[in-house]
Amino acid sequence: MLTALVAATGVALALVLALRPAVAGSPPLAWACLAGPYAVMALAALARMRRDGTLREKLLPRSGDVAFGASVAVMLFFGALAARMLIVPPRTAREAWLMNVYLRIGDPDAVQRHVLAYTAAIVLVAALEELTWRGLVYDALERSLGTRRAYPATAVLYALAHAPTVVLLSAPWAGPNPLVVLAALGCGLVWGLLVAQSGRLPVAIVSHELFAWALAVQFPLWRLG
């Protein structure tokens, strides 16, 4: 349990650093602030798997993993699109929530000019997130709570770790911004269930990478509405 709480606290602090106004104008620095702590925790996850003798079992890709991960990513994308229309309707004050999220990713023109760099950053951070949350944190909670309670508990902690975004991405007319927390909870439940049922990480990693890339680079939700 201590491992899970330390990870959640570390991620929350990393988000506070990455979303500071002083860092907002430098997306590479913001990505680095986020990736650094995740890299440490991901290495801890790999070390634990190696110690337990489960490294190969949990991480070795199998036939069908990419296709399955892609199908889950597509499902999540359409879920995000539906949530966008319900929670952040076009031409309402709440659209400012969505715009604040995308402005922290980077200027849209800059994202398209440096699409390979952004893609590499997204793929790396998504993989580190899965190693941390569905690798390290889920494993720690499963040992104390059991599988059926561990994966929803991991999703709740994943969402709570993103709680600073409620304030940091708020908008004057729309108020506190719940979008990132809601997304973390919903996606965390899906990716956690994948890992709980299979005992493996590759499908969740692929799904997370493709879903994050689609939202951030290829099909930004602020354009779809």
Percent of the chain at pLDDT exceeding 70: 99
Q: What stretch of H or E contains 192?
A: helix 179-198
What contacts 68, CB < 8 A, 6 or more positions away? Answer: 203, 206
pLDDT in tens, 185-214: 999 999 999 999 999 999 999 999 999 999
* Closest C-alpha to 187, from 170, 212, 164: 212
State yes or no: pLDDT of 24 exceeds 70: no
Handedness of CA 62, 118, 96, 25 (dihedral sign): positive
With 0-12 / 13-18 / 19 or more C-beta atoms within 10 angstroms meaning exposed / middle / buried, residue 51 is: exposed
How many Å apart are CA 83 and CA 65, to the nearest integer? 27
Q: Which two tokens stand for residue 111?
A: 């994202």
Helix pair angle (147-161, 179-198), 10° resolution = 150
Neighbours of 113 (CB within 10 A): 12
- Domain chopping of the chain, boundaries: 2-51+62-223
Q: What is the pLDDT of residue 25?
A: 63
* Amino acid at site 36: G
Helix pair angle (27-52, 115-130), 10° resolution = 40
* Reported pTM: 0.94
How many Å apart are CA 151 and CA 171, to the nearest integer? 32
- Report whether 217 contacts 119 (CB < 8 A): yes
pLDDT in tens, 56-97: 999 999 999 999 999 999 999 999 999 999 999 988 999 999
- Report whether 158 contacts 184 (CB < 8 A): yes
